[in-house]
Chain A
Amino acid sequence: MTTTMFGAGPGARRSMGRIGLWGPPGSGKTTFLAALNIAVLQSADKQIRLFGTDTDSTVFLKESTAMLTRDRTFPDATEAGKQLSWVLSMDQQIQVPTKLFGKKQSANVTVDLNLDLLDEPGRMFSDRPAEAADKDDDDSGLGFDSDDDDPVSQSPDNSAESVMDQLSGCNGLVLLFDPTREWEEGDMFNYFQGTLLEIAQRRMMGRAEAGGRLPHYVAVCVTKFDHPDVYRRARRLGYRSFSPYDPYLFPRVPDEFAEEFFVSLVREADKGNAELVPNALRRFFLPERIQFFVTSAIGFHLNKSSSRFQEADSMNLAPKPGGGHLIRGPIHPINVVEPLIWLGEHLAGGTR
Chain B
Amino acid sequence: MRAADPIPACPVCALPAGAGDYCECGWVLRGPRRLGPVTDAVRADFDRRLAAATLEFDARAAALVSSVPGRFARWIRGGPPDRAQWATARRQAAVAADEAVDDSTARKEFAALLRGVAPGGQALLIEVVPEGIVVTRAVMGATGAPRYEADQPVRPWPDLVPGLSAHPEERLLQLAGGRGRPETAELRDRLDEALREPAAELAGAAAVLIVCGPAGWTLPEAVAGLCAELFPGARVLRVAGDAAAAGTGSIGRLTAAMPLLHGYGVIVATVDPVTGAVAAATQPLFAPGDAPGARASVTLRRFPGDRERATLAVAVDAAWSAEPQVVAVHTIPQPEPLYQVSAVLDPSGQVRFTEPPGIGEDSRPWTEVRACVPSAVDVRPAAVDLVCAIDLAGSHGQVARRKKLVSDLLGELAREYPESAAPRVSVIGCVDHRYEPGAESKAVVRGAPLGALDHAVRALAELRGDEIRYPEAASLEDLLYEAHRMLARARKAGRVGRLLLVAGRRPHPPALTVSPRPGAPLVQPCPKRYDWRDLTRQLGKAGVGTVAVADTLPMRAAKGGFWAETGADGLYSLPAATAQALGEDLGLLVREEQRPGLPLPALAQRRFDVDLRKESR
Chain A residues close to B by CB (< 8 Å): 72, 141-143, 180, 183-184, 228-229, 232, 268-269, 304, 311-315, 317-319, 321, 326, 328-330
Q: B435, B518, B521: which contacts A318 (Cβ < 8 A)?
A: B435
> Which chain B residues lie closer than 8 Å to A313 at the CB level?
511-512, 524-525, 527, 529
Within 8 A of A (CB), among B410-452: 434-437, 440-441
Instruction: Specify the chain B residue showing the minimal Cβ separation from A312.
Output: B511
* C-alpha gap A72/B435 in the complex (Å): 11
* C-alpha gap A321/B469 in the complex (Å): 6
B-side interface mostly: loop
Instruction: Specify the chain B residue showing the minimal Cβ separation from A182.
Output: B518
Instruction: Specify the chain B residue showing the minimal Cβ separation from A69.
Output: B437
B487 to nearest A CB, angstroms?
Answer: 27
> Which chain A residues lie closer than 8 Å to B529 at the CB level?
312-313
Determine whether the beta carbon of A228 is less than 8 Å from that of B514: yes
Determine whether the beta carbon of A312 is less than 8 Å from that of B470: no
* C-alpha gap A268/B471 in the complex (Å): 28
* C-alpha gap A183/B524 in the complex (Å): 21
> Which chain B residues lie closer than 8 Å to A321 at the CB level?
467, 469
Instruction: Specify the chain A residue showing the minimal Cβ separation from B527.
Output: A313
> Which chain B residues lie closer than 8 Å to A142 at the CB level?
519
A-B contact count (CB 8 A): 62
Determine whether the beta carbon of B441 is less than 8 Å from that of A268: no
Determine whether the beta carbon of A229 is less than 8 Å from that of B514: yes
**Size class of the B contact interface (CB-based, 8 Å):** 20 to 34
Determine whether the beta carbon of B441 is less than 8 Å from that of A304: yes
Instruction: Specify the chain B residue showing the minimal Cβ separation from A230.
Output: B518
Q: Does B472 contact A (CB under 8 A)?
A: yes
Interface string of B454-474 (1 = CB under 8 A from A): 000000000000010111100
New A-B pairs, 5, CB < 8 Å, besides A312-B510, A314-B512: A184-B519, A313-B511, A317-B522, A319-B469, A328-B435
Determine whether the beta carbon of B518 is less than 8 Å from that of A72: no
Determine whether the beta carbon of B519 is less than 8 Å from that of A180: yes
B396 to nearest A CB, angstroms?
Answer: 16
B46 to nearest A CB, angstroms?
Answer: 128
* C-alpha gap A311/B441 in the complex (Å): 19
Determine whether the beta carbon of B519 is less than 8 Å from that of A183: yes
Instruction: Specify the chain A residue showing the minimal Cβ separation from B528.
Output: A305
Q: Given A142-B519, A318-B435, A329-B437, do A312 and B514 touch, yes or no (CB 8 Å)?
A: no
Q: Given A180-B518, A312-B525, do A318 and B436 touch, yes or no (CB 8 Å)?
A: yes
Determine whether the beta carbon of B518 is less than 8 Å from that of A268: yes
Instruction: Specify the chain A residue showing the minimal Cβ separation from B515.
Output: A229
> Which chain A residues lie closer than 8 Å to B525 at the CB level?
312-313
Q: Given A315-B522, A318-B524, do A328 and B512 touch, yes or no (CB 8 Å)?
A: no
> Which chain A residues lie closer than 8 Å to B518 at the CB level?
141, 180, 183, 229, 268-269
Determine whether the beta carbon of A328 is less than 8 Å from that of B436: yes
> Which chain A residues lie closer than 8 Å to B441 at the CB level?
304
Determine whether the beta carbon of A141 is less than 8 Å from that of B514: no
> Which chain A residues lie closer than 8 Å to B524 at the CB level?
313, 315, 317-318, 328
* C-alpha gap A326/B435 in the complex (Å): 9
> Which chain B residues lie closer than 8 Å to A180 at the CB level?
518-519
Determine whether the beta carbon of A319 is less than 8 Å from that of B472: yes
> Which chain B residues lie closer than 8 Å to A141 at the CB level?
518-519
A158 to nearest B CB, angstroms?
Answer: 34
> Which chain B residues lie closer than 8 Å to A326 at the CB level?
435-436
A348 to nearest B CB, angstroms?
Answer: 39
Task: Give 29 CB contacts A-B under 8 Å.
Answer: A72-B436, A72-B437, A141-B518, A141-B519, A142-B519, A180-B518, A183-B519, A229-B514, A229-B518, A268-B518, A269-B518, A304-B441, A311-B511, A312-B511, A313-B511, A313-B529, A315-B512, A317-B522, A317-B524, A318-B524, A319-B469, A319-B470, A319-B472, A326-B435, A326-B436, A328-B436, A328-B524, A329-B435, A329-B437
